[in-house]
Amino acid sequence: MMTEKYIRTIRSFVKREGRLTSSQQYALDNYWADLGIDYSENLIDFETLFGRSAETVLEIGFGNGESLWQMANNHADKNYIGIEVHRPGVGRLLHLVHTSGITNLRLSNHDAIDVLKHQIADQSLDRVQLYFPDPWHKKKHHKRRIVQPDFVHLIAQKLKSGGIFHLATDWENYALQMKDVLNASDEFTNLSSDNTFVVKPEERPTTKFEHRGHRLGHGVWDLLYERK
């Protein structure tokens, strides 16, 4: 059972505001009304939001938005919702979406836990993506990592049966924790051949951050789970 204490105290981010460029601020001021999702405690009607019925993919923590934009651009038949608290990243993605003219991506600038709990209906998502979340690499901070049993249960509630939860990290210690937590859940099935990790799926774009990590010899671990 997911506890209210968890929902109120564990956040999916550390808010590092950063400096907005003029184009990011302009995008926030001018494009949010059409492309943004204001936070409330009312459920989002996906068909009304996108003007159609289609598979819906939700990404938690899209960073600068480049990879999420690529996915939405490459899969026009699917609806995408991106959640990010870092306003420069939100502004950058708003600019990308507006200038490219794609119509299947909407953005939320709020904590993912609140959005999932209050705005996303149960059994409504076809896919959830969590790529390179804050690793909280110091052992004393591991309790702050978003991938914990209660969070996994929350994701399971929001996914349809057969829906996919795709995670990726470049921290091996976190990858192992993710695997252990998901494998222990009776709501998910590990889609790897050996109950561990999968080869990076083609639909996940390789980010600039990831390319840099490869050059430095860093590994990346992808995990793919199906909602039972």
Angle between helix 66-74 and 87-100 (nearest 10)? 30
Sheet strands side by side (includes 221-227)? 36-37, 105-108, 79-83, 56-60, 125-131, 159-169, 221-227, 188-190
Mean pLDDT of the chain: 92
Which residue type does 74 have?
N
Q: pLDDT: is 16 or 140 the higher one? A: 140
Residue 220 has pLDDT above 60, yes or no: yes
Bridge-based pairing state of the strands 221-227 and 188-190 = antiparallel
Please, what's the largest Cα pairwise distance for the chain? 49
* Cα torsion angle, 193, 194, 195, 196, sign: negative
Residues 73-99: pLDDT tens digits?
A: 999 999 999 999 999 999 999 999 999
DSSP letter at 65 equals S
pLDDT for the residue numbered 67: 96
Question: Region 126-138: what's the mean pLDDT?
Answer: 94
Which residue type does 127 have?
R
114 carries an active-site annotation: no
Beta bridge partners of 150: none
Percent of the chain scoring above 70 in pLDDT: 93
Q: Which fold has domain 4-227?
A: Rossmann fold (3.40.50)
At 17, the pLDDT band (50, 70, 90 cuts) reads low
Question: Region 149-173: what's the mean pLDDT?
Answer: 97
Distance CA 111, CA 168 (A): 19
Residue 2 has pLDDT above 70, yes or no: no
Distance CA 43, CA 49 (A): 11
Terminal alpha carbon distance of the chain: 17
Give me the residue spans of the domains in the chain: 4-227
**Of 134, 170, 180, 222, which is the active-site residue?**
134
Classify the phi-psi angles of 195: left when phi > 0, otherwise alpha if psi is within -120 to 50, otherwise beta.
Answer: left
Give the per-residue SS3 of 129-157.
EEECCCCCCCHHHHHHCCCCHHHHHHHHH
